[in-house]
Chains A and B, each alone.
Chain A
């Protein structure tokens, strides 16, 4: 009996948000004749994947009971590093590695500060966000980072594989890897365990420190990947690139059913969350509504999603 109830609530969690996405999809399809055009759908997906990649990382971070506010800055600076290396003639492939390494490196620093100095993740990543943004501002004192739009690099953003824009294609591959990591490895299991109750995990012999550093590294790495792809798409890196991405990433994860309190996360949910955010932007464009409404809507959605999550988990507790 109880088992059925639980299975029921579990299904409802993911189903509910899927229904919201479909409803929004149907609404936009009816409201705008352009919405269902192939170019628009491609564009929508392309717009969504940058947040989605960061959202995947955020899902891990939130599931372990942390938060990463530095992803927006890391995204911007990692893109800039890749651009600068290419512009300096370092070659596309090493440049991408340098960008990804930068993101992973800042992630490791976040993780070490959190685990070794025992500072709250909110504070560490909030401060790190400022530091990294400052470094990016210094790198762009003479104007945006540019001059790296070599065809081999811009192809990353402008090419297509199997009818899908390459960033979408890459995101699908990353998704498959992360889903596996989250659900079918000891790493994913331990992330959930630590977020569920760090003391229990610690007493059960889980290496809480290592896993936590790993999670923040992953978050930094995914932000960097998003930054590299975004740089390829924009062909120049402004000092403000990526700012606000931390909010969208948190929104995507939370809308997707990941708990801000830790212990519960959904990689599939992050996809749905990011697509919903993308559809809101896209829909406002198509309906010629001021994009500034987006910020208000996203904020409201985060509050609603968290409130719903609290409500359902409190209900579940009464079982």
Chain B
């Protein structure tokens, strides 16, 4: 197969492990010269990890990468460039104050001799001409190559990144969600570029959540799930529904046991949250004894919604009520006072003070409970509290004086949960509570969630893991592009129909 002469990239048997997780397991991917290959899968399926191996950011633990038939080690991004592999990341990676020419040649500026060869200066003319030549392929007018790119729109930025990729004389362009910030007509322009690349014999790996884009654009679709290849199909042999089924089609492990908890009165109501360009009229409610899921793709606005609820981000309009009473929430402090706690998605950066000990973390959000007067810490009470919660939640730590960073992910999450339970909340919001946590600890977190609702609390659960949402939630809201597009009851919800709504598929 490697001798077909046409294969540019051959990745075989790629395995990558991170502490506690196997991110990729025996994955293979071939890309031929001038071929456009789509790589699709859910969040966490391993697409980005696989691509980072090609751009030199990660290295495989096992497996082989061949470029032009020769085995290679892609040690860093410079090495990837030298091999003719160029990546256009999801987040624009241009320097906003520099113009197109400066960006295209950033770090590899063309120079020419000024006095002999010793003193050299930038060859502005050569760089400008080359940029204009490449740029002219995309736009008939080229006057704005000298304008700082920060003043241009998203489409032109994408184009400049493509021009940059081309100027490196690459043979493969990896595009990660290239249409993310683009309007519909701009997407069409981008698709034309992809065709142009193909006609010049340049291969493209195209990653997207917008499955409908693929038809008419790509030659082959590779589906990944849970760090493995699951399917490889031609666009003519499939459709969106089929792809979704393949993406989510894992055997649903039945380790979540849903207990029957009587559902009581409304505990949290969120009405008409708006934040310009981020959230649009988001309304939802949670009842006592209920676990409510919030599903959606990365960037759909789930995290933004929960941050808005607790006052972590400013909103332009909207109200939050707890137990039927409207709360004026401007900061997370207000949310805590109203009985809302939020466990953020990033444990280490937002959840816990990892440099501080378990005890200080547990009491942080409700320090006033362990104060004598307004000011003075009652160390004994603090220690007693910390020990009590460590025991109640089963935090595995030698003592309460252990720094949180030395605990495992699951135990860090339990410490964060202990902090919030100590604030005696009525509503707990979890944002990706089990990301990167091993199965055993996940199970314990699920039990703690179940206990909280049994005691009459309400839970709003944001998760990208659909089995988790389907297993735990009584109802599920689905978000797409900053809006809640659907509400499923537990009985109605399936991985397929959630994914369909989450990717905007219902609109077609």
- Interface residue A200 (Cβ < 8 Å from any Cβ of B): yes
Which of A1-9, A148-156, A247-255 touches B? A1-9
Contact with B along A123-166 (1 / 0, CB 8 A): 00000000000000000000000000000000000000000000
Q: Using Cβ atoms and an 8 Å threshold, which residues of chain B touch A184? A: 376-377, 379
Which A166-204 residues have C-beta < 8 A from chain B?
A: 184-187, 189-190, 192-193, 196-197, 199-204
Contact with B along A259-272 (1 / 0, CB 8 A): 00001100000000
Smallest CB separation, B370 vs chain A (Å): 9
Which B208-260 residues have C-beta < 8 A from chain A?
A: none
- Interface residue B312 (Cβ < 8 Å from any Cβ of A): yes
- Interface residue B128 (Cβ < 8 Å from any Cβ of A): no
> Are B360 and A186 in contact, CB atoms less than 8 angstroms apart?
no
CA distance A183 to B382 in the complex (A): 13
Which B320-379 residues have C-beta < 8 A from chain A?
A: 331-333, 335-337, 342, 344, 349-356, 360, 364-368, 371, 374-377, 379
Which A1-60 residues have C-beta < 8 A from chain B?
A: 1-3, 6-7
- Interface residue B111 (Cβ < 8 Å from any Cβ of A): no
Other-chain residue from A187, A200, A205 in contact with B350 (beta carbon distance below 8 A):
A200
Q: Using Cβ atoms and an 8 Å threshold, which residues of chain B touch A317? A: 405
Q: Using Cβ atoms and an 8 Å threshold, which residues of chain B touch A296? A: none
Other-chain residue from A196, A203, A206 in contact with B342 (beta carbon distance below 8 A):
A203
CA distance A203 to B349 in the complex (A): 11
Q: Using Cβ atoms and an 8 Å threshold, which residues of chain B touch A190? A: 367
- Interface residue B319 (Cβ < 8 Å from any Cβ of A): no
- Chain B residue with Cβ nearest A264: B355
Smallest CB separation, B425 vs chain A (Å): 11
> Are A193 and B353 in contact, CB atoms less than 8 angstroms apart?
yes
> Are A196 and B353 in contact, CB atoms less than 8 angstroms apart?
yes
- Interface residue A319 (Cβ < 8 Å from any Cβ of B): yes
Interface centre among A187, A201, A204, A207 (most CB of B within 10 A): A204
Q: Using Cβ atoms and an 8 Å threshold, which residues of chain B touch A197? A: 349-350, 353-355
> Are B399 and A206 in contact, CB atoms less than 8 angstroms apart?
no
Q: Using Cβ atoms and an 8 Å threshold, which residues of chain A touch B352? A: 200
Interface centre among B337, B351, B377 (most CB of A within 10 A): B377
Smallest CB separation, B463 vs chain A (Å): 19
Other-chain residue from B350, B356, B364 in contact with A206 (beta carbon distance below 8 A):
B364
CA distance A201 to B368 in the complex (A): 14
> Are A3 and B401 in contact, CB atoms less than 8 angstroms apart?
yes
Smallest CB separation, A274 vs chain B (Å): 25
Which A296-319 residues have C-beta < 8 A from chain B?
A: 317, 319
> Are B355 and A196 in contact, CB atoms less than 8 angstroms apart?
yes
Other-chain residue from B344, B401, B402 in contact with A203 (beta carbon distance below 8 A):
B344
> Are A6 and B353 in contact, CB atoms less than 8 angstroms apart?
no
Q: Given the known inter-chain contacts A205-B331, A205-B365, please indicate yes or no for A193 contacting B360, CB distance below 8 A.
A: yes
- Interface residue B267 (Cβ < 8 Å from any Cβ of A): no
Q: Given the known inter-chain contacts A196-B355, A197-B349, A206-B333, please indicate yes or no for A185 contacting B406, CB distance below 8 A.
A: no
- Interface residue B203 (Cβ < 8 Å from any Cβ of A): no
CA distance A201 to B310 in the complex (A): 14
**Which secondary structure characterizes the binding site on chain A?**
helix
- Interface residue B52 (Cβ < 8 Å from any Cβ of A): no
Q: Using Cβ atoms and an 8 Å threshold, which residues of chain B touch A201? A: 353, 364
Q: Using Cβ atoms and an 8 Å threshold, which residues of chain A touch B398? A: 1-3
CA distance A185 to B368 in the complex (A): 10
CA distance A101 to B84 in the complex (A): 66
CA distance A264 to B349 in the complex (A): 17
- Interface residue B475 (Cβ < 8 Å from any Cβ of A): no
Q: Using Cβ atoms and an 8 Å threshold, which residues of chain A touch B355? A: 196-197, 263-264
Q: Using Cβ atoms and an 8 Å threshold, which residues of chain A touch B371? A: 186
> Are A205 and B336 in contact, CB atoms less than 8 angstroms apart?
yes
CA distance A1 to B335 in the complex (A): 39
Other-chain residue from A193, A199, A207, A263 in contact with B364 (beta carbon distance below 8 A):
A193
Count of chain B residues near A, Cβ 8 A: 39
- Interface residue B442 (Cβ < 8 Å from any Cβ of A): no
CA distance A2 to B332 in the complex (A): 34
- Chain B residue with Cβ nearest A196: B353
> Are B368 and A204 in contact, CB atoms less than 8 angstroms apart?
no
CA distance A184 to B364 in the complex (A): 14
Q: Using Cβ atoms and an 8 Å threshold, which residues of chain A touch B344? A: 203
- Interface residue B419 (Cβ < 8 Å from any Cβ of A): yes
- Interface residue B112 (Cβ < 8 Å from any Cβ of A): no
- Chain A residue with Cβ nearest B371: A186
- Chain B residue with Cβ nearest A200: B353
Q: Using Cβ atoms and an 8 Å threshold, which residues of chain B touch A199? A: 349-350
Q: Using Cβ atoms and an 8 Å threshold, which residues of chain B touch A207? A: 331, 333
CA distance A190 to B356 in the complex (A): 12
> Are B360 and A6 in contact, CB atoms less than 8 angstroms apart?
no
- Interface residue B33 (Cβ < 8 Å from any Cβ of A): no
Smallest CB separation, B345 vs chain A (Å): 11
> Are A204 and B419 in contact, CB atoms less than 8 angstroms apart?
yes
- Interface residue B403 (Cβ < 8 Å from any Cβ of A): yes
Q: Using Cβ atoms and an 8 Å threshold, which residues of chain A touch B353? A: 193, 196-197, 200-201, 263
- Chain B residue with Cβ nearest A186: B367
CA distance A3 to B398 in the complex (A): 7
> Are B331 and A186 in contact, CB atoms less than 8 angstroms apart?
no
Smallest CB separation, B405 vs chain A (Å): 7
Q: Using Cβ atoms and an 8 Å threshold, which residues of chain B touch A185? A: 375-377
CA distance A319 to B331 in the complex (A): 35
Other-chain residue from B332, B374, B399 in contact with A3 (beta carbon distance below 8 A):
B399
> Are B377 and A204 in contact, CB atoms less than 8 angstroms apart?
no
> Are A6 and B312 in contact, CB atoms less than 8 angstroms apart?
no
CA distance A207 to B401 in the complex (A): 25
CA distance A67 to B312 in the complex (A): 25
CA distance A6 to B400 in the complex (A): 13
> Are B331 and A202 in contact, CB atoms less than 8 angstroms apart?
yes
Q: Given the known inter-chain contacts A200-B352, A205-B331, A263-B356, please indicate yes or no for A189 contacting B402, CB distance below 8 A.
A: no
Contact with A along B392-427 (1 / 0, CB 8 A): 000000110111011000000000000100010000
> Are A200 and B351 in contact, CB atoms less than 8 angstroms apart?
yes
> Are A192 and B356 in contact, CB atoms less than 8 angstroms apart?
yes
CA distance A193 to B351 in the complex (A): 12
Interface centre among A197, A201, A317, A319 (most CB of B within 10 A): A197
Q: Using Cβ atoms and an 8 Å threshold, which residues of chain B touch A7? A: 401
Smallest CB separation, A185 vs chain B (Å): 5
Q: Given the known inter-chain contacts A2-B398, A196-B355, A205-B332, please indicate yes or no for A189 contacting B406, CB distance below 8 A.
A: no
Other-chain residue from A187, A193, A196, A204 in contact with B332 (beta carbon distance below 8 A):
A204
CA distance A189 to B371 in the complex (A): 12
Interface centre among B331, B352, B399 (most CB of A within 10 A): B331
CA distance A1 to B354 in the complex (A): 19
- Chain B residue with Cβ nearest A199: B350
Q: Given the known inter-chain contacts A200-B350, A201-B353, A202-B312, please indicate yes or no for A2 contacting B367, CB distance below 8 A.
A: no
Q: Which residue numbers of A lie inside 8 Å of B, CB to CB?
A: 1-3, 6-7, 184-187, 189-190, 192-193, 196-197, 199-207, 263-264, 317, 319
- List the 10 shortest-distance A-B pairs measured between CB atoms, nearest first: A205-B333, A204-B365, A205-B336, A3-B398, A196-B353, A204-B364, A186-B367, A203-B332, A205-B332, A185-B375
Contacts A/B (CB < 8 Å), 11 sampled: A3-B398, A184-B376, A185-B377, A186-B375, A189-B360, A203-B310, A203-B350, A203-B351, A205-B335, A205-B365, A205-B423
Q: A189-B377, A193-B360, A205-B365 are in contact. List 8 more A-B contacts (CB 8 A).
A: A186-B377, A193-B353, A204-B365, A205-B331, A205-B333, A205-B336, A205-B366, A317-B405
